[in-house]
Chains A and B, each alone.
Chain A
Amino acid sequence: MITSFLPLVAAVLFAIGAIGVLIRRNAIVILMCIELMLNAVNLTFASYAYELRSMAGHVFIFFVMTVAAAEAAVGLGIVIAVFRKRQSADVDDVNLMRW
């Protein structure tokens, strides 16, 4: 029961995170939505690890967390650097790389 229910929940969480990435303008909030998506993926992995009785799923979750941590750190560093230059954490202001 649990294993058929949780992946559905994870899918919903993933979609919500996706919508958030598309809708919000604040860079930090976007990063948070990305964390949301990553967690949904983690949840899916965990439930399948449980279903298939395999620890490989847990290992993968471990690595996803590692990468999420690194990415959050670097992303926030970028946001701070941009904020210093432009006094704004709005991603729409970061639009110099265009035609």
Chain B
Amino acid sequence: MLSLLYLIPLLPLAGFVINGLLGKRFLPKWAISAVACGTVLLAFLLSLGAVSSLNNLDSVASVRGVLDVDPAAQRVTLTVAQWLAGGSGANGAVFTIPWGFTLDPLSAVMLLVVTGVGFLIHVYSVGYMAHEEGYWRYFAYLNLFMSMMLTLVLGSSFPVMFVGWEGVGLCSYLLIGFDYPKDSAADAGRKAFIVNRIGDMAFILAMSWIFASLGSLGFTQAMAQVGKLTPSAAAGIALLLFIGACGKSAQIPLYVWLPDAMAGPTPVSALIHAATMVTAGVYMVCRCSALYLQGPAALTVVAVVGALTALLAATMALRQNDIKKVLAYSTVSQLGYMFLAAGVGAFSAAIFHLMTHAFFKALLFLGSGSVIHAMSGEQDLRKMGGLKKLLGITYPTFLIATLAIAGIPGLSGFFSKDEILWKALGHENRHGLGGTWFWIAGVAAAGLTTFYMFRLVFLAFFGEGRMDEETKHHIHESPKVMTVPLMVLAVLSVAGGWVGIPKSLSFGADLNRFEHFLAPVFEPVMAKEAHAAGLLAEGSVAGHETGSGSGLEYLLMLATLGVVAVGFVLAYRFYRSRPEIPQRLAERLPTLGNLLANKYYVDELYDAILVQPYWRLCDFLSAFDRKVIDGLVNAVGAFTEVCSQFIKLFQTGQVRRYALWFMLGAIALLWYLV
């Protein structure tokens, strides 16, 4: 089974080719859906098989040059072919990149999340996109995206991962701009791609630096040698990689594309901008955990940016009126949590939250898609209301997801978020930015999250319907092909967190199977770092709770719950029992209200600082090209014309004139010869 690893990215690619080439004219709709969903389902099943065989790697034999099995690290690397063979670097390193896939616990988690949630979203799309003109194109792009994302996750070296990295960026552009005649969609697609590109540039620089200093671009080889780097060099590379992650995972300052990306179809938002693509940055940082630990300054930056983003994005979500935009800012905020976790060294907590977030955020998006579908395309929360009774499946599942994201105990979000907060507090930072600040930011963001999510629920599902008669007449629950994935995701949102129950809540039983699963990936580096820095105080980095820690942990959990409860109550008052309060607050604090509603004018700022000067430069260059360069070329032509005007005076037709030239020429020649 493990030698079939290459099929996992290959199957969706085949689906892309089939749907792309034949889908427009030759395939009926059912065939397109079957190909698209079938390939992803097969990939999921293959992933299941591969991951399950990770447990007994001792029985799998290595095949030299093709299959490399490392039972101690629980890692299998499959080399498909030699991809790039180049010259050698200054330090004698030879630049050969094999096209290979690595399966270890980290990529296993990502694999299952991507294929599993991806499959559910494919099924959902069959219903959601049923009336679309470009049905074949949508599924072709979606399959291509799956293939690229799987390449990213399974890649055994930076360049292979980068191929997937770029590929998902491309598919994001294609899918956001799916309805390309619509200007907002086309613009949003472009914005996403361009902002991503900035991150990609940093990624490439980081790759070059890695090769130059470490001599290899394969993950295992490179990470094994990070000890050779000075902390500042490691931090530098890590920061460059993090900039790339900021672009892909929408952190400050490169998050501006994600809210605009909501112009794409809702399943796309669910898959790409909630569950999978935006998590690629987190995955990459965790993959390079050894590098980050070697340069702790970078980790601090990651944590600070993550915490800031989590808080700031949550504030921006407070005043959004489009249902999808609220969820978009929520995604940015939750991604901030993941980076915060990575920044304090809690890599497995980051991946845990990545997984649970994939479940409930995908559910939220798909649910909102169901709502939009029912509302005949309306996305403005101010025009919704009272949908609770009319959407019998959408409402309960949506509510479950909201509870999960708010961190209500028992659901998945609670366990993952709490783990992050606990690890953040315990983090002792050399630069004086104590874990307390991170914890406060995290808790505040949790409170805000609860508030705006329940605001959304109350505005959309409760109260009197504020839509017009025409729309109200058409409200209906979505077809089964759309509601079944909702139900599956709801189950996962509830139960998905139970694999990561911390010791403190399980009465001593060690039920944190998630952390154990990921241990082979993170433990070696964590232990090394802990020894080197002597950070074994106060139950921090390695995540083992000490005695005094457990009591503190309960206290903190309760504090978080208190903040969450406050958020819920406020949302209830503002939007359920006393709906006039938000209006009055907006009147009392107009500046704050405007600032939030306009997302702190960040887009306008970017436009003024970056975009406008760039356009002016383009105008200048265009004028330069027209006037100077074309002018030069035209001048040559004009010169030729002038010369010919001059020369044509010699062709007078007058015989005597010609004779004169003969004579003068002959005389000159004679004088020359004499």
Interface residues of A (CB under 8 A from B): 18, 21-22, 25, 91-92, 94-99
- Find out whether the CB atom of A95 lies under 8 angstroms from the CB atom of B654: yes
- Find out whether the CB atom of B655 lies under 8 angstroms from the CB atom of A98: no
- The chain B residue sitting closest to A18, CB to CB, is B663
- Find out whether the CB atom of A22 lies under 8 angstroms from the CB atom of B654: no
- The chain A residue sitting closest to B644, CB to CB, is A99
- The chain A residue sitting closest to B649, CB to CB, is A99
When distances are taken between beta carbons in the complex, the residues of chain B under 8 Å from A21 are 656, 659, 663
Contact mask B648-667 → A, CB, 8 Å, 1/0? 10011111100110010000
**In the bound complex, CA of A97 to CA of B656 (Å):** 13
- Find out whether the CB atom of B652 lies under 8 angstroms from the CB atom of A98: yes
- Find out whether the CB atom of B656 lies under 8 angstroms from the CB atom of A25: yes
B318 to A: closest C-beta gap in Å? 81
- Find out whether the CB atom of B663 lies under 8 angstroms from the CB atom of A95: no
**In the bound complex, CA of A99 to CA of B652 (Å):** 7
15 cross-chain CB contacts under 8 A: A21-B659, A21-B663, A22-B659, A22-B660, A25-B656, A92-B656, A94-B655, A95-B652, A95-B654, A95-B655, A97-B653, A98-B651, A98-B652, A98-B654, A99-B648
A96 to B: closest C-beta gap in Å? 6
- Find out whether the CB atom of A99 lies under 8 angstroms from the CB atom of B651: yes
When distances are taken between beta carbons in the complex, the residues of chain A under 8 Å from B659 are 21-22
**In the bound complex, CA of A92 to CA of B655 (Å):** 7
When distances are taken between beta carbons in the complex, the residues of chain B under 8 Å from A25 are 656
Pick the 3 closest A-B CB pairs, nearest first.
A98-B653, A95-B653, A99-B648
**In the bound complex, CA of A91 to CA of B655 (Å):** 7
- The chain B residue sitting closest to A27, CB to CB, is B655
- Find out whether the CB atom of A22 lies under 8 angstroms from the CB atom of B656: yes
When distances are taken between beta carbons in the complex, the residues of chain A under 8 Å from B652 are 95, 98
A45 to B: closest C-beta gap in Å? 18
B644 to A: closest C-beta gap in Å? 9
**In the bound complex, CA of A97 to CA of B650 (Å):** 12
B642 to A: closest C-beta gap in Å? 15
**In the bound complex, CA of A92 to CA of B660 (Å):** 13
**In the bound complex, CA of A25 to CA of B655 (Å):** 10
B456 to A: closest C-beta gap in Å? 83
Q: Besides the contacts A18-B663, A92-B656, A99-B648, what 19 more A-B pairs have beta carbons closer than 8 Å? A: A21-B656, A21-B663, A22-B656, A22-B663, A91-B654, A91-B655, A92-B654, A92-B655, A94-B653, A94-B655, A95-B652, A95-B653, A95-B654, A95-B655, A98-B651, A98-B652, A98-B653, A98-B654, A99-B651
- The chain A residue sitting closest to B660, CB to CB, is A22
When distances are taken between beta carbons in the complex, the residues of chain A under 8 Å from B654 are 91-92, 95, 98
When distances are taken between beta carbons in the complex, the residues of chain B under 8 Å from A91 are 654-656
When distances are taken between beta carbons in the complex, the residues of chain A under 8 Å from B648 are 99
**In the bound complex, CA of A31 to CA of B654 (Å):** 16
- Residue with the greatest number of chain A CB neighbours at <10 A, chosen from B655, B659, B660, B663: B655
Within 613-656 of B, Cβ neighbours of A (below 8 Å) are at 648, 651-656
When distances are taken between beta carbons in the complex, the residues of chain A under 8 Å from B656 are 21-22, 25, 91-92
When distances are taken between beta carbons in the complex, the residues of chain B under 8 Å from A18 are 663
- Find out whether the CB atom of B663 lies under 8 angstroms from the CB atom of A96: no
**In the bound complex, CA of A25 to CA of B657 (Å):** 11
When distances are taken between beta carbons in the complex, the residues of chain B under 8 Å from A97 are 653
A32 to B: closest C-beta gap in Å? 14
Contact mask B105-131 → A, CB, 8 Å, 1/0? 000000000000000000000000000
B651 to A: closest C-beta gap in Å? 5
**In the bound complex, CA of A11 to CA of B648 (Å):** 34
When distances are taken between beta carbons in the complex, the residues of chain B under 8 Å from A96 are 653
A13 to B: closest C-beta gap in Å? 15
When distances are taken between beta carbons in the complex, the residues of chain B under 8 Å from A95 are 652-655
When distances are taken between beta carbons in the complex, the residues of chain A under 8 Å from B660 are 22
